[in-house]
Amino acid sequence: MYLGFDPNTTNPAEIQQARDFLVKHKDAIAAFVPDTGQVLLDQGEVDLTHEWSGDIFQVMEENEQIRYAIPKEGTIVWTDNMVVLKNAPNKELAERFINFILEPEVGAKISNFIHYGSPNKTARDKGLINEADLQNPAIYPSPEVFAKLKYINDVGQATPLYDEAWNEVKVAVGK
């Protein structure tokens, strides 16, 4: 996205340019970590991380030196999802659990703890979500910012191009 490309591009030249950009700037990459970037940031081991927003907001409660920002180019938007397998042995119980999570009071408690935006309009309308979170544009972005957020799509036959580029980046960076 920094290079102006759609993160779902299937254009081999764009994928290669993104790979080359990362390799060129490999000295700025401290590590590729499995969802622990907030820990490295909190401990001062890195100056910047790509991490789930709620993880950063939770660390920010304890460390006033940390900030969260959405890049001006945009970023990836995501959603948590709950599903029930068609052959689930306890389908009714799973559906009841999902209904429980979707109760406005329950969903609000989860959102207020992890500081993720809530899709539960009733929870928001009833004032169950922390007002500070509702006013935080990093949690509830403006329409202009939201327009720059992208969902990751299945890139189909381009997947091997991404796999190859990612492997080359990891080898070149060596971390």
pLDDT tens-digit readout, 132-155: 999 999 999 999 999 999 999 999
Whether residues 31 and 99 share a domain: the answer is no
Whole-model pTM? 0.83
Q: How confident is the model at residue 94 (pLDDT cuts 50, 70, 90)?
A: very high
pLDDT above 80 (res 175): no
**Are 155 and 10 contacting, i.e. CB atoms less than 8 angstroms apart?**
yes
User: Which position has the token pair 């700037």?
Assistant: 25
Whether residues 44 and 59 share a domain: the answer is yes
Residue 76, beta-bridge partner list? 150
Q: How does DSSP classify residue 76?
A: B
Whether residues 167 and 131 share a domain: the answer is no
Whether residues 124 and 160 share a domain: the answer is no
Helix-helix angle 104-114:91-101, to 10 degrees = 70
pLDDT above 80 (res 71): yes
Whether residues 89 and 65 share a domain: the answer is no
- Report the CATH number that the domain containing residue 68 is assigned in CATH: 3.40.190.10
Range of the domain at 128: 80-142
Predicted pLDDT at 15? 98
Whether residues 72 and 87 share a domain: the answer is no
Whether residues 2 and 58 share a domain: the answer is yes
Whether residues 69 and 154 share a domain: the answer is yes
Whether residues 45 and 85 share a domain: the answer is no
Domains contained in the chain, number: 2
Q: How does DSSP classify residue 146?
A: H
User: Which position has the token pair 């401290």?
Assistant: 30
> Tens of pLDDT along 6-54?
999 999 999 999 999 999 999 999 999 989 999 999 999 999 999 999 8
